[in-house]
Amino acid sequence: MSVLSKQQLITLLDQIEENIDALGVQYIAEKEKLAILVDRLIEERFHLAVLGQFKRGKSTLLNALLGDEVLPSAVLPLTAIPTYLLWAEELRVCIKYIDGRRDEEKIFSNVREMNAFLREYVTEEGNPRNKKGVACTEVYYPSPLLKRGVVLIDTPGIGSTLRHNTQVTHNILTECDAALFVISADPPVTELELEFLKLVKNKIKQLFFIINKIDYLNEQEKDSVLAFFKGILVEDVNIDNPQILCVSARRGLEAKLSKDTEKWKKSGMHHVSDNLVDFLSKEKAKAHQKAVANRGYDIISDVIMRLNINIKSLEMSLTELDKRIKAFEEKLREIKGEKSIIADMLEGDKKRTKKYLTDEADKLRLRAERQIKELICAYIEELFPAIDEGKIQGKLDDFIPTFFEKELSEMAQKFNTRVGEVLSKYQDRVDELIEAIRKTAAELFKIPYYAPSAKEIFQMRYLPYWVNKKYGATLSPIPKSLVYSLLPSRIKKAKLTKQYNEQAEILARNNVENLRWAILQNTNEAFRKFSHNLEERMEKTIEATHGAITATYNKRLAESEEITSELEKLQDARNLLSGLQEQLKKYISL
């Protein structure tokens, strides 16, 4: 599907929005829903991460895809910070910091300057051990690939000097649509890479493999590297049918720079660019457009149904209308009763989820306590008799953020899934209840009823979150009298160990409490939003059906003159919208 038809779909939805807008304020909610859909369509992105150990050629590969030396690539390791490549008309870099300092933005007049600037932030030589505290960088570049909504991500190399990098990469992967795992024959695949692959393979929906630097190899060598790597993937990593491409990113980049199409093909990069990135991103865009068209179709169906109800209540005799309103109200009482039952059950589930969180936090506290104690004990053993508080503090400064960042990410994910599951169970019942109102209206007025095909959940998704937290690792000073005491060494060690064990308990408790609190807030918020959404949807649906009918009834009682012209207006609007709705069908049947 082409870019043009996305634009056409946007234009069509805009046109529908305008027509709904013209129907007046009663239809404002539907107009807004359509506006959101259009925004979604415009903002649609495809995220592709490039993974692999440092020096495999990840940055070079990305440069080849972009066609210029945008990212610094080096013989020296390594890219320690994730870089997001996004589209903009101008060359721009945005540096984001871990501690929430203000972003740093800079615009460049040429790629060379931008590359040099980036070097100061994303490479080990420019920013050793990430002393500058950079969280990630965004690089804006005017390439057609990025313009189509593809976001490329250069990830920190695994096995880098910073331990938490692997964690960062993990977190990135949860937001990715696909990833390329880059290896090369110099040296062949390492133990570290295999470990990493085992970790990531279930995180990514679409994982592809690239053997880079084939310019070092002749045909025969290339075949044997390919066969060897495939064997490892199948047997050691348990990937059934791995998709592997062989490229020379360096030759690819050279080809792009010298506009040599023959060389570009020979580099193998055209497979990566056309058959992979291009194909995948278009496939996703198509699926997304279909979902948007479906949802748009439902919104119009709802508007048309309401127009039909209004038309019918203008045509019907007053006594007849009165009778239907009474029957409608009867049914509404029933539906509201069911809603209270759902609300009670939801409250129960919320309590159980919170209890589960407390239990999990308790378990984590014990685990953290044990690990911190073990770490300190072993270290005291190692240092003894020269106990150095500074060194022990250093050990903890290293251990605590890494440990808790990993735990937070795992626990947050567990709760996101759990809360998501609990709520989706209710989502179906809520949907049914709302539909019961619409169905009643349709039956009472003998008009066609459209069951929505796209779920409302498409609109109100339960968004996972990510908290950037700082973890406390600071020890209270151990009394000098103890550190320098003249006690027999055995007793001194026992006393010190006891002191440190108490501190370990405090550190574990405080850090786990912070983590529990963050997850609790998120859980509460998810339930609150859900209940609020239930109330609101119910109210709106009642207003749109029962409310509208009673309003017409009252108008007719007052014997307003405008009834006939209003009837015509409504009929025209209905016919026009039906026509536009027909046009949406071609996107749905893609």
Catalog residues that contact ligand GDP under the rule CB under 6 A.
52, 54-60, 73-75, 78-79, 157, 212-213, 215-216, 248-250
Q: Which does 149 bind (CB under 5 to 8 A by kind): ligand GDP, Mg ion, none?
A: none
Cβ closest to Mg ion, residue 60 vs residue 552 = 60
Instruction: Compute the least distance from the CB of residue 63 to ligand GDP, in Å.
Output: 7
Q: Which does 522 bind (CB under 5 to 8 A by kind): ligand GDP, Mg ion, none?
A: none
Instruction: Compute the least distance from the CB of residue 123 to ligand GDP, in Å.
Output: 9
Confirm or reject binding of residue 63 to Mg ion (CB under 5 A): no
Q: Cis bond leading into 464, ω under 30°?
A: no
Instruction: Compute the least distance from the CB of residue 138 to ligand GDP, in Å.
Output: 17
Distance CA 299, CA 581 (A): 10
Instruction: Compute the least distance from the CB of residue 154 to ligand GDP, in Å.
Output: 7
Cβ closest to ligand GDP, residue 184 vs residue 523 = 184
Cβ closest to ligand GDP, residue 210 vs residue 304 = 210
Cβ closest to ligand GDP, residue 45 vs residue 55 = 55
Q: What residues contact residue 508 under an 8 Å CB cut-off, 6+ apart?
A: 365, 366, 368, 369, 372
Instruction: Compute the least distance from the CB of residue 229 to ligand GDP, in Å.
Output: 16
Instruction: Compute the least distance from the CB of residue 114 to Mg ion, in Å.
Output: 15
Q: Which does 249 bind (CB under 5 to 8 A by kind): ligand GDP, Mg ion, none?
A: ligand GDP
Cβ closest to ligand GDP, residue 149 vs residue 268 = 268
Cβ closest to ligand GDP, residue 168 vs residue 375 = 168
Distance CA 26, CA 24 (A): 6
Q: Quick check: helix, strand or coil at residue 46?
A: strand
Instruction: Compute the least distance from the CB of residue 184 to ligand GDP, in Å.
Output: 7
Instruction: Compute the least distance from the CB of residue 48 to Mg ion, in Å.
Output: 15
Secondary structure of 434-498 as H, E, C letters: HHHHHHHHHHHCCCCCCCCCCCHHHCCCCCCCCCCCCCCCCCCCCCHHHHCCCCCHHHHHHHHHH
Distance CA 261, CA 271 (A): 13
Number of residues in contact with Mg ion under rule CB under 5 A: 3
First and final C-alpha spacing in the chain:
9
Cβ closest to Mg ion, residue 58 vs residue 365 = 58
| Closest residue by Cα to residue 48 from 82, 98, 2 | 82
| Closest residue by Cα to residue 388 from 398, 399, 400, 376 | 376
Cβ closest to ligand GDP, residue 195 vs residue 456 = 195
Cβ closest to ligand GDP, residue 60 vs residue 313 = 60
Element spanning 84, H or E: strand 83-86
Confirm or reject binding of residue 60 to Mg ion (CB under 5 A): no
Q: Which stretch binds Mg ion (CB under 5 A): 57-65, 326-334, 386-394, 491-499?
A: 57-65
Selected binder of Mg ion within 59, 115, 155, 281 (CB under 5 A): 59
Confirm or reject binding of residue 281 to Mg ion (CB under 5 A): no
Cβ closest to ligand GDP, residue 156 vs residue 296 = 156
Q: Which does 45 bind (CB under 5 to 8 A by kind): ligand GDP, Mg ion, none?
A: none
The alpha-carbon radius of gyration of the chain (Å, integer) is 31
How do beta strands 91-97 and 178-184 pair? unpaired
Selected binder of Mg ion within 19, 63, 79, 155 (CB under 5 A): 79
Whose tokens are 């690939």? That residue is: 145
Instruction: Compute the least distance from the CB of residue 156 to ligand GDP, in Å.
Output: 9
In order of 368, 371, 421, 442, 485, the CA distances from 495 in angstroms are 22, 19, 49, 79, 11
Secondary structure of 109-153 as H, E, C letters: CCHHHHHHHHHHHHECCCCHHHCCCEEEEEEECCCHHHHCCEEEE
Q: Which does 440 bind (CB under 5 to 8 A by kind): Mg ion, ligand GDP, none?
A: none
Angle at 363 between CA 358 and CA 369, to 5 degrees: 120
Residues of the shown chain interacting with Mg ion in the complex, contacts defined by CB under 5 A: 58-59, 79
